[in-house]
Each structure stands twice: as C-alpha cells, then as structure tokens.
Structure 1
Amino acid sequence: MNKKVPEKWQSSVKAMKAVQVAFDMDETFQLAIRREALEAGLSPSEQIRDILGLPVNKRPKRPRLTVSLSAEDYLLLGEKYGLDPAQQLDIKKKLMEDLVKHVQQ
C-alpha cells in the first residue's frame, strides 16, 4: 500500500524518521555539555550536534522555562496565593512574579 502523507504532515515526515540517541555519561560531562549549550544559546541536543560536527539549527528558539503542574499542585498553589485552583492563568502570573523575584534577589 502506497499512501501519500497529508500535506499538513509533510514537515513532520523527516522528524518521524529520526532516531533519538541517549547518552549515559558521567554527570560531570553532562553538566559541562549543558553549560556549553546554555552559554551558546543552544539546546543540549543542538550542542551535541555541534560537538559532533553535524548541522545545527541556528534559528532562535523562543526561550522559555517549563514545569509540569498536577491538579494537586494547583490546589497547593491556589492555597499559597489565595486563589481558586481553577484560576490557572492567575496562578501562572503569580508563579512568574515569584520566579522574577527569585532571580532579582
């Protein structure tokens, strides 16, 4: 069966064929590579590609930090900020304020 990939998925075909390789290395080496990546403005995987002499995506990525929050986390944070746990956007604003305060201290 020879099915054509839908147009909207064409950009994902290359990524689907890629194979992720994980490296079990000493923590010291991992930290050094992560630090180099940070200083170069790259992700750790892009830094590894650069070290290996592979093409690197030089496009600037939207810098962002992420954290996964469970329903229980929202309950705790809602309590901390005096908000209803369902007010996730307001909680997110408070979290950002706390992170900014932390860095400025």
Structure 2
Amino acid sequence: MSDKKDWPKEVEALKAVQLAFDLSSDIQRAFRVAAAMQDLNTSAMVRKALNLPYRRKRIRPRITVTLHEEDFEQLAARYNLPADDRAAIRQRVAEELGQFATAFLADQDTPGK
C-alpha cells in the first residue's frame, strides 16, 4: 500500500474530468501534426493552445498497436521466426517501423513533394 502522503495526488486525479470534442478531421490532424512536430502528445497540444499548463515532453514517447494471434503468425512468417518468439518479433517490428520512419522523413525532405 502506498504512503498516505501520496493520497492527495490520487484524490486530485480522481477529480479531473476528461472531455472529448467532436472536431473536423482537418482540425484533429492539425493538432496531431502540431503535437508531433513539438514532441508533445495531442492532449498537451490542446492544453498549450488553450494556454493551460502542460508537460513539455512526453513521459513515455511510444507508439502502441494491438496485435492479435494471427498478426503474430503473419509477422513470424514474414521475418522467418517462430510465432511464439514475441521478443524477436517485437524487435523486428521496431526495426521495420524505424525503416518506415526514415524513408518517410527522407521523402518529406525531397524537393518537389
């Protein structure tokens, strides 16, 4: 069990209210792109636009994706790995995503695009 001194933070978190806004795709894209360009998450970008306090950098900058058993089987076949070697599959996926990002960024720097 945590120290009682930590409880005020827990109580404060429970009082927070999460709001969702139905905005056009263009507005949502603008916030996602602006956030990515400033190394912020989208929520922090919204807080920044509203001139509210926000975290300057992402705490855990990561990308998440849900993979099903069939996805692991397909990736294992692609990488010639056993389907149950999740660590090796994860490593190869990370490498492939890195290659995608490198190619994407290089393509964005190409004049005339």
User: What TM-score range do you get, normalising by the shorter chain?
Assistant: 0.7 to 0.9
Q: Does 1:7 align with 2:3?
A: yes
Identity of aligned residues (%): 34
Q: Classify 1:93/1:67 alpha carbon distance in 2 versus 1 (closer, same or farther; 3 Å).
A: same
**TM-score, with length taken from structure 1:** 0.80
Q: Which runs of 5+ in 1 are unaligned?
A: none
Aligned length: 101
Q: Classify 1:12/1:74 alpha carbon distance in 2 versus 1 (closer, same or farther; 3 Å).
A: farther
> Which of 12, 18, 29 is the aligned partner of 1:20?
18
Deviates more, 1:33-42 or 1:6-15: 6-15
Q: Take 2:27 and 2:56, find their aligned partners in 1: how far apart are those partners?
A: 23
Q: Take 2:101 and 2:47, find their aligned partners in 1: how far apart are those partners?
A: 30
RMSD (Å) for aligned C-alpha atoms? 2.1
Q: Take 1:104 and 1:45, find their aligned partners in 2: how far apart are those partners?
A: 26
Q: 1:91 Cα deviation (Å)?
A: 0.3
Q: Classify 1:104/1:57 alpha carbon distance in 2 versus 1 (closer, same or farther; 3 Å).
A: closer
One-letter identity of the residue aligned with 2:85: Q
Q: Does 1:58 align with 2:56?
A: yes
**TM-score, with length taken from structure 2:** 0.76
Q: Take 2:57 and 2:27, find their aligned partners in 1: how far apart are those partners?
A: 26
Q: Classify 1:59/1:26 alpha carbon distance in 2 versus 1 (closer, same or farther; 3 Å).
A: closer
Is the Cα contact below 8 Å between 2:48 and 2:54 reproduced in 1?
A: yes
Q: Which runs of 5+ in 2 are unaligned?
A: 104-113
Q: Take 2:13 and 2:83, find their aligned partners in 1: how far apart are those partners?
A: 37
Deviates more, 1:33-42 or 1:84-93: 33-42
